[in-house]
Structure 1
């Protein structure tokens, strides 16, 4: 069920969070050896920088000039660039990369291009740029930079990975991820297998070449095509992993990089999943404390009892789903309800919507509100169409790292740890970590450190109660990157820039506009 990672920022902060929700968990469900020992061993491996000179066989790609054209949204231009499908064999074929930009508005001297990525993997950077960044970023930043986005290979407009159609995705998202017996366990395994087989059948060649390393190398081709000597970039959530990977591969081409809602690339999948599960529990407790102070809280006024109430409600839905007024006949079962609650954990601006949705479901037996939250998480529209977000998310994650578990027995063994990390969400998130076990393509990556020796200062941003990228991950990434400055936001929600903290925004704006990183140890609230 939970196969995702970070935003496409639409109209409001709450909407942005829900879009982000549609991506984050599965980045951490992707894989890697399990346990602390494997994680510790991975710290000895460092992502190696590529040679500074561009290889001759890549020269045609680096020599491209974008043919900008209008692309349907006023003020935006679009172009298509090519990158090698396989960097080890550039002659084997190309992938097409969709790029969009909104030129600097002035006044003031243009600084260059600012690439943005909302995360995922699977979030459309172009959609994010057009719906949020090009209007939501500070006017001073938009005045001085061409705002640019490239959909990573396999995502949205850049040769999207495809796995299941709409009705198949409806069935997949409703699969019970807290199996009670052998039959339900097999149904969950079959759902993961069907998803994987669909990806293998519809995107066979591309599945081998959608890794984060390849996407980072693509960004360097885009940088060259834009005419920028160095890359200036703001990445959120998974976008921090993409940006840090770029820095590790091309440290001498790092300009001003902001990595907001940072991931720790050294973590093995099982440990990463476990820590993220604890992150969602932390966010849920913050929601509960806020809810319990309100007389209309559907979970009651005893914050200590709220988790038990919600877990019991999920159990009721497992046995008796609620009507949800859905035109396609879907009802609200445990899986969709859990997804809806998790979606609202990404931003405190969504807490009111969650309270209303829980009230409707728990007291009025109407599941429409939670279903709406779940649909936003999965990027499903009213016409029962899904974006390729979930397909791309799994494809990238399952290639970047080996599976977290080798089968259901391993999940069962890990359940006590996951349920300790989160009594409410732990069981479902443990089983969600099985999603890459049956993937048709062997993983090409492993956990590793990224040091980016020689890079210019890089700003790493962490939020202390971030549910999806727990704050220790930001500390860990900042500790690895040789030139990092850690900027801390003491608050709730996923990511920090552009979410209401003047302290955070002014620190990042100063860095982007003047190249001045935040003071060491700077904290905002």
Structure 2
């Protein structure tokens, strides 16, 4: 059966990169951590892996307690004279596996940026293959009972019932208490963004380089900006993409993340109406009629949900499922708007199967004969998210009443607030905070190299205004705008955007202030504007770069649907 609970997969910041994306497996337990980099062939050639030993507590490294950071590299093949060192990538989260990301797309990074770099994916401390692994539970069975599968994309609604918010709060209190009980060795308070930034410097220095080269998306923007704030003289090249509201992140109030969510939804209405019958199956005569058409369908589903038995699972298409499907599409509209429209059109005829299968996940099967087994390595997505996202900001001790007031205020910002405003509720019970951790303000008067910030014109969960605001905290930095809808620049291929990325990393060239890049994609593509049709008009090298950029996007778009 599909796991369920009153709080579901409660992660508006959470990032899931399924292990399957990484292809073949590698047994990380065969490696021994060291303060130097000892590379071992892993996964598939030419990938290499290592475990880097770092201090658990940077304020007391002499105590000998350490963490092991899992690192994978797609090695440079350039001559030594042209080698430019490690380029670190973070796919967001917090809790995203950089290892899995590079295993799945390292070759594409090389196609886009060139072979002068070692392309580096790393799992932040406590995350995935890095150890000690963050876990609140003694067994996988216990974990699956209390937390739905990482593949379960259903978010709860804070207004689903009169007790929904209180129910969610109580579950978070329980999980926070379980986290505290699991923290007997006292390491959870060290799983914070500032320490992850320090780990990135350790990785860079282990390669023999002094300054960080980095690309971080979504939560990775927080990590990158935090690094630049702590180590302004250690910035080699630093791109942050899908930039969060840094002040909001460190204060535990991400309301500003939703500034453009409804604008993103409006592009569905506008694009669908413009595409007509052939381009959008759920079209209406005008964009102004689209919201009412969707509202009517939503009201019908509230009254009569649909049970569905599908090849991999079974479940209910109700109003919560419908709103989650819509929100998924808003995150990745170039991939999902047209399929969403088809699903909605069929649903309007009384058939929910298509919409369900578009968002289907396999049934959860519990191995009851092995229910006492220890938590499997690599399966700690939720715990990682909660530990980092709640351990970073100021303590949040809101009562249910205070959270209700907070939620009601967010509804004035976005119609999706019931699904997206839960982060503060998640963290309201968290009690594990390290004294002296970095809590902002983010910024530096003079970094050793200017930052490049990237924002879409309409991003549903990291508004363009946040990129502009963060840029002001780093004088000399530049904001590159991608004229697209969705979360981060990876929602659609853009030779312009990736061309500026390469120029920045290779030559140190910043785009001119005010630069806006178009994308090679349409929200509702027709035969004449489809990317494939345009291939004949381009040279093969341009096409290879575009395809590589799009492949990186495909990998990340599987996980960026649910991340800030």
**Same topology, TM > 0.5:** yes
List per-residue Cα deviations over 1:61-97 (Å, max 9, x = no partner). Answer: x992111101222211000011222222221611111
* Distance of 2:163 and 2:239 partners within structure 1: 47
Output one character per residue of 1:209-252: Cα deviation in whole Å (capped at 9) or x when no partner. 21100100011111111222221111111111111111111222
Equivalent residues of 2:269, 2:290 under 8 A apart: yes
Question: Given the superposition, is the C-alpha separation of residues 213 and 281 from structure 1 closer, same or farther in structure 2, using an over 3 Å criterion?
Answer: same
Change (3 A) 1:340 1:406: same
Conserved in 2, the CA contact under 8 Å of 1:400 and 1:445?
yes
1:169 maps to what in 2? 147
- C-alpha distance in 2 between matches for 1:121 and 1:145: 25
Superposed, 1:400-419 pairs within 5 Å as 400-402=392-394, 406-419=398-411
Aligned mates of 1:69, 1:162 — CA distance in 2: 27
Alignment partner of 1:193 is 2:173: yes
Check conservation: 1:256, 1:511, Cα contact below 8 A: yes
Partner in structure 2 of residue 391 of structure 1 = 383
Say which SS state the counterpart of residue 76 (structure 2) adopts.
coil
Q: Which moved more, 1:355-364 or 1:395-404?
A: 355-364
Give the structure 1 partner of residue 503 of structure 2. Answer: 510
Quick check: 1:5 aligned with 2:13? yes
Q: CA 1:319/1:79 → structure 2, altered by over 3 Å: closer, same or farther?
A: farther
Q: CA 1:186–1:410 in structure 2 vs 1: closer, same or farther (change >3 Å)?
A: closer
- The partner residue of 1:104 within 48, 61, 76 is 76
How many residues in Structure 1 have an aligned counterpart in Structure 2? Answer: 471
- Please say which of residues 141-150 and 122-131 is displaced more in the overlay: 141-150
Q: Is the 8 A contact 2:158 2:418 kept in 1?
A: yes
Equivalent of residue 204 in structure 2, options 188, 199, 223: 223
Aligned to 1:429: 420
1:209-220 to structure 2, matched below 5 A, reads 209-220=190-201
Alpha-carbon distance between aligned partners in 2 of 1:259 and 1:78, rounded to the nearest angstrom:
25
Structure 1 regions of 5+ residues with no counterpart?
Answer: 17-61
**In structure 2, do the counterparts of structure 1 residues 441 and 501 end up closer, same or farther at CA, with 3 Å as the change threshold?**
same
Give the TM-score, by structure 1 length: 0.79
C-alpha distance in 2 between matches for 1:206 and 1:291: 50
Q: Which residues in structure 2 correspond to 1:6-21 (within 5 Å)?
A: none
Q: Deviations over 1:426-468 (max 9, x none)?
A: 2333345311112242475535232252421211111110112
1:22-421 to 2 correspondence within 5 Å? 64-90=35-61, 91=63, 93-106=65-78, 109-132=82-105, 134-137=106-109, 139=111, 141-159=113-131, 160-163=133-136, 165-170=143-148, 176-179=156-159, 181-202=161-182, 205-267=186-248, 272-293=253-274, 294-295=276-277, 296-298=280-282, 300-307=284-291, 309-310=293-294, 313=297, 321-325=305-309, 330-347=315-332, 348-366=334-352, 369-370=355-356, 373=359, 387-402=379-394, 406-421=398-413
TM-score normalised by L of structure 2: 0.74
Q: CA deviation at 1:364?
A: 3.6
Deviation at 1:374, TM superposition (A): 7.5
- Decide whether aligned partners of structure 1 residues 523 and 179 sit closer, same or farther in structure 2, where only a CA change above 3 A counts: closer
Q: CA 1:292/1:449 → structure 2, altered by over 3 Å: closer, same or farther?
A: same
CA contact (8 A) 1:463 1:495 kept: yes
Question: Once structures 1 and 2 are overlaid, which stretch shifts more, 317-326 or 466-475?
Answer: 317-326
Structure 1 458/435 Cα, relative in aligned 2: closer, same or farther at 3 Å? same
Cα RMSD, aligned residues only: 3.4
Secondary structure at the counterpart of residue 309 of structure 2: coil
The SS at the match of 1:267 is helix
Say whether the 8 Å CA contact 1:102–1:146 is kept in structure 2: yes
Q: Which runs of 5+ in 2 are unaligned?
A: 1-8, 23-32, 137-141, 367-375, 519-564
Decide whether aligned partners of structure 1 residues 184 and 489 sit closer, same or farther in structure 2, where only a CA change above 3 A counts. Answer: closer
Show CA shifts across 1:270-309 (max 9, x none).
8953222232212111122112333254374453354455
**Distance across 2 between alignment mates of 1:178 and 1:520:** 40
Q: Is the 8 A contact 2:84 2:117 kept in 1?
A: yes
Answer with 1 or 2: which has the greater Rg: 2
2: distance between equivalents of 1:76 and 1:518? 32
Q: Is the 8 A contact 2:229 2:442 kept in 1?
A: no
